[in-house]
Amino acid sequence: MKYRQVKEAVLQELNKPTPGFPLSENSLARRFGVSRMTARRALQELSQEGWLYRTRGRLSTPAPRRFRQGYLRVRPFYEFARAQGAQPKTRVLAAELRPTPTGVREKLGVEQALYVERLRFLDDEPVQREVRYLHPVYCAPILEHDLTSESIHDLLIHTLGLPLTRVWQRLEAVALSQDIARLLRQPSKAPALRLERLTYTLEQPITWVEYLMRADRYYLEDTFIPQGERP
């Protein structure tokens, strides 16, 4: 359908260094030789999908950039940022030995664990808050490293030599608490994606982590082979 071709062309325009915005229904219709109704449908759908903002005067401008997150994939943050063409930055908020909260204690099986809290930025905007507890027997050297630039995932595998053999994880939608919203420069109760993950070496759980990701900056997308999948 013509409106889908118009949508694709506008999406390609968004990736240009200097996109030709704002757009109006009339200018879009003239550019692609389509009806104003077709142009309107394309712009409305792009707005509903979060790519454009539409003003009262029916002009469309780019919405703030969104980042594609592979569906529940384990991927170092800096590698993820490079794949998106974004500039990453990390601020370490805490890195120390702490008592484990009840829920984490049940998963890791230790009274105290290495605690790491980090705030992640893409293009100088805070997009993710990470809280991690690591088993102190297996992961003690982690705190000696520069956690503003080094991947804990890579440190576990390549520096500590721990084979990561199994991952349990859960994704859910949540509302940000006032404190976390302030960190992420969001209003209180703003929507977020919460990813909880427990990683094992052989049968030993060694790290529990919670990611809170801004829902206005992340979306989930994946491609997989359905052979062998069950309904």
Dump pLDDT digits (tens) for 167-218.
Answer: 898 888 999 999 999 999 999 999 999 999 999 998 899 999 999 999 888 7
Domain match, 193 and 150 both: yes
CATH classification at residue 18: 1.10.10.10
Q: What is the pTM of this model?
A: 0.68
**Beta strand 191-201 pairing with 166-175:** antiparallel
pLDDT tens for residues 142-168? 999 999 999 998 899 999 999 888 889
Domain extent, residue 166, equals 67-220
Listed in sequence order, the residues at least 6 apart from 92 whose beta carbon sits closer than 8 Å to its beta carbon are 116, 117, 118, 147, 148
Tell me, yes or no, whether 114 lies in a domain. yes
Same domain, 109 and 162: yes
37-60 pLDDT per residue, tens? 888 888 887 776 667 767 665 667
Number of domains in the chain: 2
**Same domain, yes or no: 120 and 171:** yes
Are 8 and 71 part of one and the same domain? no
pLDDT band at 72 (very low <50, low <70, confident <90, very high): low
My answer on whether 155 and 130 are in the same domain is yes
Q: What is the CATH number of the domain that holds 138?
A: 3.40.1410.10
Which of 42, 62, 82 is the endpoint of a domain?
62
The verdict on residue 128 lying in a domain is yes
The arithmetic mean of pLDDT across residues 92-110, rounded, is 94
Is the predicted pLDDT of residue 128 greater than 90, yes or no?
Answer: yes
Question: Which tops the pLDDT comparison, 7 or 61?
Answer: 7
